[in-house]
Amino acid sequence: MIKVLLNGCCGKMGKVIIEAAKNFPNIEIVAGIDKYPNDQSNFKIYTNSDDVDINYDVLLDFSRPEALTDILKLSTKNNKPAILCSTGYTDEELLLISEKSKVIPLFRSANMSLGVNLLNSLLKKIVPTLYENYDIEIIEKHHNQKVDSPSGTALLLADTIKDSIPNESNYIYGRSGKRKREKNEIGIHAIRGGSIVGDHDIIFAGSGEIIELSHKAISREVFAVGALKACEFMSDVIEPKLYNMDDVLGI
């Protein structure tokens, strides 16, 4: 049985993960961490990570970037792997994650959906063929409560595209004013409204044809399932390094 410590257990995604875990007979959420606990869970909830005194196999975080320091401190102290599902990390925080991954096994992904990560893998194969004759734009849509913009997933896809192009390219976040589009631009556009779970469209606009790749998250459960599969994977790793969904999918 894989024992999971869930950080952010009382948040929206925390509740979805708790429910989704019922379909994973080899996973048990043994405790949670949340600054605003409720009494609806059947496991102990700590309001401070310093107070955690329970044995666990892997820490799963689905909260906010501000929790990173506490998560890494606890994981290092216990020498346990941590799965980081939050988005919106600063460059300094990403550097900290990279450095700590040399000490303990860490997992980070901008999107926990298996479908998004398969789509990202597909981009690595097709972009080198398409970039010369197609303009590339990314449109992402999320609910009106999302804090970071553009989404971590849009940046994940954009970075994959940029890394797959041999020539120098630049991100353009939205457009305004009067000027023509430059060939080396990768457009990234963010839409916020209603209760959209998460839509991502990659557009390859050529002369006479358009190729579109799309992923639409219908339910937050898709992220929970990916996170729990990451728990299964990370519970077996020993080597300190930074893992991602490619490792889970065997890509």
Binding positions for NADP(+): 35
Strands 198-205 and 135-142: antiparallel
141 is catalytic: no
Q: Do residues 49 and 71 lie in contact, with contact meaning Cβ atoms separated by under 8 Å?
A: yes
Q: Do residues 16 and 220 lie in contact, with contact meaning Cβ atoms separated by under 8 Å?
A: yes
Catalytic residue among 142, 162, 200, 215: 142
Catalytic residue among 124, 146, 189, 229: 146
183 is catalytic: no
What share of residues in the chain are helix, strand, coil (percent, to 5)? 35, 25, 40
Known binding-site residues for (S)-2,3,4,5-tetrahydrodipicolinate equal: 143, 152-153
Only one residue has tokens 């007979």, namely 25
Known binding-site residues equal: 8-13, 34-35, 85-87, 109-112, 143, 152-153
Which positions ≥6 away from 62 have C-beta within 8 Å?
6, 7, 8, 11, 13, 14, 17, 85, 86, 223, 227
Catalytic residues: 142, 146
